[in-house]
Every structure is written in structure tokens, then in C-alpha cells.
Amino acid sequence: MTKIAVVEGDGIGHEVIPVARKILETLHPEFEYFPVEVGYGKWEQTGCPCADQQITELKTADAVLFGAVTTPPMKDYQSVVLRIRKALDLYANLRPVRGDGFDIMIVRENTEGLYSGIEEFSPDRATTLRVVTRAGSERIVRSAIRLVHQRKGHLTIGHKANVLKSDVLFRDICNSEAQKAGIECNDRFIDALALDLLQHPAAYDVVVTTNIFGDILSDVASFLVGGLGLAPSANIGDRYALFEPVHGSAPDIAGKNIANPIAAIRSAAMLLEYLGDSSGAARIESSINRALDQEGIRTRDLGGSAGTREFGDAVIREICGE
């Protein structure tokens, strides 16, 4: 039996994830869905945002559907997302950006770089160590190369090797793996790449980069598709996989039934794709488009007035009416 762990998390996670789950349940009532509670809300109740118990539960699932968690800016609070990515070794963060005339896949290294967690803090000086390893770089670029083969596309490496030694290593490993694989590949400085991606999105296919650059680049690239409410992502390792919207818990709009659930619904489609149900994933995607185009139903961020649940219901109507 296929088991799906469902983590709502905090804020709008409690609104968009139930919608995405309902859509998965419509397509796959035979899956077992079970909730796992982590996040800031959990910390307020228990003093711990994510215990070993929850990591163990997540590991029993075939895939995790994840909302978002609030990370308060307190220096002793450990980010739940980072903890889960590390514990499940979800080293590849895939962030597709698809629109009219472009189809980009940002592949972000998810376990090291500036988010390695090696830090020192004092009132007058703080340091964060940026760790790039051969093993970490090889496995992420190999994931990217597999996607290039599947998509019959090409690879762009985003880096800042002109100032960062750690990126000289990253760039050289990526280039050498690409050459071995016989794929078309070029590399660019990440800042110039970010601007060019917005100006010429059709020129890009798979983009591989280090942790923080990928984090920023994918938020920026979501501008091409209408904002954060639309951008899904997958976090994939060799044994586990977790699917989540790119956006966070959005406390500014939480609890009002106005968040756009599309990013969460598309993350559910990526989950189905990962589990081998490509046609289910395609049905979700086309149903979202029909709900937007034919029913004219949109949430506030897209200029409409539909609620989170109402948009989800429209997608389900499209799925059931096919």
C-alpha cells in the first residue's frame, strides 16, 4: 500500500495542503494518508518543532506532501525544513518554472553550501561556513544530467566562481560530469544568470546551482509564472522524497481562505509523477488550467476573488468531469 505523509505545518499550510490532499484522494482513494505534525505551532505546544518521532514517521512514507513551516528569527530555533532535508538526505531540490514558450527546471543542491549549519555567532561578529564537497556536487549534477537526458535538453551551471573558491570546485565538477555525459552545457555567474533568466526564459532548460543561489533564483523565477502562489517543488534523495510549494507559511494572509493553493496542488502532481503516475500528474495540471481558463476562477493574487477552498473545488470538478 502506498503511504503518503501529510504535513500541513504552519500558516497557510493548514489551508493549501488540505486542498492538495483532497485532490490526491480524488485520484487515489486507495493510498493511505497520515498526518505528521511539525512546525512552529508544534514548538509552541511542546517546546520542540520536530522530534525524532516525526522523522521516523516521515521515513515510513513512500512520499511526503508538505505545506510550509514558520521559522521565527531566533538564533536558537532550528529550521524544521533544514532538519528534515538533512535527516531524509533530500539532496536534490527540483523547482520547475513552466509558462508560455519556456520550460525551466531549477535543480538546487539542498544539503550543503551556505546552509550547512556550520556557524558562529557573537554580538560583533558572525560567520557561516559555505561547504561544497566533491560528493555533494557530483550527486546533484548527476541528478541534473538525468533530467537533461529525459527532457532532451541542455544544462546551465549557475555559480560565482570569480569570487568563491567553493564555486570553482562546484563549477569544475559540474562541467566535467556534463562533458563525460556528452550533454550540451554552459556556465554563468549567478547574478547575470538571474537577470537573463527573466529576460530570456526560453533560452534555459535545466539549471543546476548551489543551495542559497537556487533558493533565491527559484523565488525570482516564479515571477515568470505569476508569483509564489503557483510554484511547486520536489525534494528528492535516494530513498525519500518530499513535495512542497516554494512559498512559506505566509502569516500575512493565513487563516483568511485567500491563499492560492495552486503551488501546493502542483506539488501533489509532482508527487504523483515521482510515484510513477504521470497521467494523474497531467490530469491535475490540465484541470488547474481549465479551472483558471474556463471557469474563470482565481484567487486574489491572480486578480480574482475565489477562496482557497473554492479554487480547489473547481479543480476537483474539472478532474471529475473529464
Pick from 244, 187, 250, 183: nearest CA to 215 = 244
Active-site residue 191, yes or no?
yes
**What cell does 91 get?**
539532496
Marked catalytic residue, from 62, 103, 196, 219: 219
- Candidate list 93, 143, 222, 260; residue touching ligand NAI; CB under 6 A: 260
Active-site residue 172, yes or no?
no
Q: Indicate the residue among 193 and 258 with the shorter CB distance to ligand NAI.
A: 258
Strands of 206-209's sheet, edge to edge? 32-35, 3-9, 63-68, 241-245, 232-236, 92-99, 102-109, 206-209, 155-159, 185-189
Between CA 88 and CA 248, with CA 92 as vertex, the angle to 5 degrees is 80
Q: Indicate the residue among 81 and 132 with the shorter CB distance to ligand NAI.
A: 81
122 residue type, one letter: S
Residue with the three cell numbers 560583533: 124
Marked catalytic residue, from 10, 167, 187, 215: 215
Q: Which stretch binds ligand NAI (CB under 6 A): 18-26, 240-248, 273-281, 288-296?
A: 240-248
Q: Which stretch binds ligand NAI (CB under 6 A): 128-136, 170-178, 200-208, 241-249?
A: 241-249
Active-site residue 219, yes or no?
yes
3-state DSSP call for residue 237?
A: coil
Contact partner at residue 215 from Mg ion, ligand NAI, none, CB < 5 to 8 Å by partner kind: Mg ion
CA distance 178 to 172: 10
User: What is the longest distance spanned by two Cα atoms in the chain?
Assistant: 62
| Residue 270 sits in the site that holds ligand NAI (CB under 6 A) | no
Active-site residue 252, yes or no?
no
Contact partner at residue 236 from Mg ion, ligand NAI, none, CB < 5 to 8 Å by partner kind: none
Q: Indicate the residue among 116 and 249 with the shorter CB distance to ligand NAI.
A: 249
Q: Considering CB under 6 A, how many residues would be counted as binding ligand NAI?
A: 21
Active-site residue 115, yes or no?
yes
| Residue 81 sits in the site that holds ligand NAI (CB under 6 A) | yes
